[in-house]
């Protein structure tokens, strides 16, 4: 109960730092080991180029699996924190139990796709037999053993909802370390382990995910004592599931839109392979910066949701204020790093012919980080205050409605040269600025209708 009391009594600015730092480190770590995973595959003795191509093709499906798990977790997080803030232990147990029931359903869907749909999916994108074989092998393993990433995502949010973000970070670290250790062993065949190539990368990934999920299950059962546990709470409750997805569905769509946006941007940049590669490399840098905002958002949401359940206007207002202030500080740091050291990042990735395009992208797109971070914070606030629709609208504006048509239009005017391609990069800051203005209007409306009316 000490953790619950912390959510209730600790000053919001201090609570946000205490909860936010582990979550930020967790997200940063995720960005790091995703890159390390690709680096090991790219250094395979045979077929490294085909392997990287295969990993590129499976990326959208991996993102969709993560989207389903994280989105359900986000809805669970906000609803559980609010329910605990109301002191309703029975409903809190049902929220947690129903989230695990939903995890089982998500896993069954992923399992069936892994068995029956993987080959057709990869075949729709390539005719290269080697890429096809590698892509099918990798994605089938990730789908069939996807229960690790799905239940890790759920247990992570269950722990965050009760203020135990440190334990979710421990689980993330353990999974990352296991993955990084097993990658070279299973990919290259070190010691008694046979050389498995891309299959080894897949097995290392899912083993790390399962290790994280098991550890967080133990933490959840041992530490989350504010509500009951057991199979009886997993009985489907239509009302609870509806409430979870009223908050979580926009987060699922937002995550899914990320993979759609990357795919369409690659199509837009197809006329210039160097620019296409530069965007792919920049996306990895962008993960480092924006994942900081995502981590802090995961602290903002339960803090404000708990306060909303308590009907504490002051704690809600403090959560909004400090959430935005701390996000701005993180994004200014991110902009400074990317603007000052673009050459160092280009060297890190060995950008080669894409170097100039990559540096130009860094210089222009990094301007958008400030507004993108604020938009992410807005979405965390909306989700905590029953603003799922507003969160969805911001996601659609940022990742579909504005960015893709704008980039497509800019691409019509410039077909050659690094300076021409730079015009396309400006679609990112323009999109984030417009979305930020819309987000501010939404925030004013939500504060008026849901916060100012509280006693």
249, 75 Cβ separation under 8 angstroms: yes
pLDDT value at residue 348:
65
Taking alpha carbons only, the member of 126, 138, 169, 118 closest to residue 41 is 138
Indicate whether 423 pLDDT > 50: yes
Residue predicted with more confidence, 145 or 55: 145
**Cα 167 from Cα 219, distance rounded (Å):** 7
Per-residue pLDDT tens over the stretch 114-144 = 999 898 888 876 777 887 898 899 999 999 9
pLDDT value at residue 53:
67
Per-residue pLDDT, averaged over 99-126, amounts to 89
Indicate whether 191 pLDDT > 50: yes
Judged by average pLDDT, the poorest of 45-49, 99-103, 201-205 is 45-49
pLDDT value at residue 1:
46
Indicate whether 3 pLDDT > 80: no
pLDDT above 90 covers a percentage of the chain that reads: 31
Judged by average pLDDT, the poorest of 191-195, 347-351, 398-402 is 347-351
pLDDT value at residue 42:
67
Indicate whether 150 pLDDT > 60: yes
3-state secondary structure 225-290: CCCCCCHHHHCCCHHHHHHHHHHHHHHHHHHHHHHHHHHHHHHHHHHCHHHHHHHHHHHHHHHHHH
pLDDT above 70 covers a percentage of the chain that reads: 91
Per-residue pLDDT, averaged over 447-451, amounts to 90
């Amino acid at each position: 109960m000490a953790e619950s009391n912390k959510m209730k009594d600790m000053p919001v600015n201090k609570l946000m730092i205490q909860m936010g730092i582990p979550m930020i480190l967790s997200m940063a770590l995720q960005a790091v080991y995703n890159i390390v995973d690709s680096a090991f595959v790219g250094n395979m003795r045979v077929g490294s180029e085909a392997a990287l191509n295969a990993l590129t093709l499976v990326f959208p499906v991996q993102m969709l699996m993560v989207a389903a798990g994280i989105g359900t977790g986000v809805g669970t997080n906000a609803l559980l924190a609010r329910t605990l803030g109301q002191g309703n232990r029975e409903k809190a147990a049902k929220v947690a139990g129903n989230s695990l029931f939903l995890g089982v359903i998500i896993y069954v869907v992923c399992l069936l796709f892994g068995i029956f749909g993987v080959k057709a999916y990869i075949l729709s994108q390539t005719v290269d037999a080697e890429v096809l074989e590698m892509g099918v092998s990798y994605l089938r393993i990730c789908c069939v053993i996807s229960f690790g990433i799905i239940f890790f995502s759920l247990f992570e949010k269950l722990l965050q909802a009760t203020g135990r973000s440190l334990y979710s970070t421990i689980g993330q670290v353990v999974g990352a370390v296991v993955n990084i250790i097993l990658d070279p062993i299973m990919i290259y065949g070190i010691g008694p382990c046979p050389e498995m190539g891309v299959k080894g990368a897949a097995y290392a990934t899912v083993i790390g995910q399962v290790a994280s999920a098991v550890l967080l299950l133990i933490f959840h059962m041992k530490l989350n004592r504010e509500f009951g546990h057991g199979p009886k709470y997993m009985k489907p409750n239509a009302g609870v599931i509806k409430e979870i997805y009223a908050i979580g569905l926009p987060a699922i769509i937002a995550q899914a839109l990320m993979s759609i946006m990357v795919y369409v941007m690659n199509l837009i940049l197809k006329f210039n392979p160097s620019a296409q590669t530069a965007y792919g490399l920049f996306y990895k840098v962008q993960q480092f910066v924006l994942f900081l905002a995502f981590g802090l958002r995961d602290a903002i949401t339960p803090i404000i949701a708990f306060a909303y359940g308590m009907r504490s206007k002051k704690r809600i207002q403090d959560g909004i204020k400090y959430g935005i202030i701390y996000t701005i500080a993180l994004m200014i740091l991110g902009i400074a790093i990317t603007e000052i050291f673009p050459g160092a990042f280009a060297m890190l990735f060995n950008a080669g012919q894409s170097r100039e395009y990559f540096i130009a992208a860094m210089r222009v797109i990094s301007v958008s980080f400030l507004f993108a971070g604020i938009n992410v914070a807005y979405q965390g606030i909306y989700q905590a205050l029953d603003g799922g629709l507003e969160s969805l609208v911001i996601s659609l504006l940022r990742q579909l409605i504005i960015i893709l048509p704008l980039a497509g239009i800019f691409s019509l005017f410039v077909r050659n040269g690094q300076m021409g391609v730079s015009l396309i990069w400006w679609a990112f800051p323009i999109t984030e600025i417009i979305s930020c203005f819309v987000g501010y209007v939404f925030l004013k409306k939500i504060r008026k209708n849901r916060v100012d009316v509280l006693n």
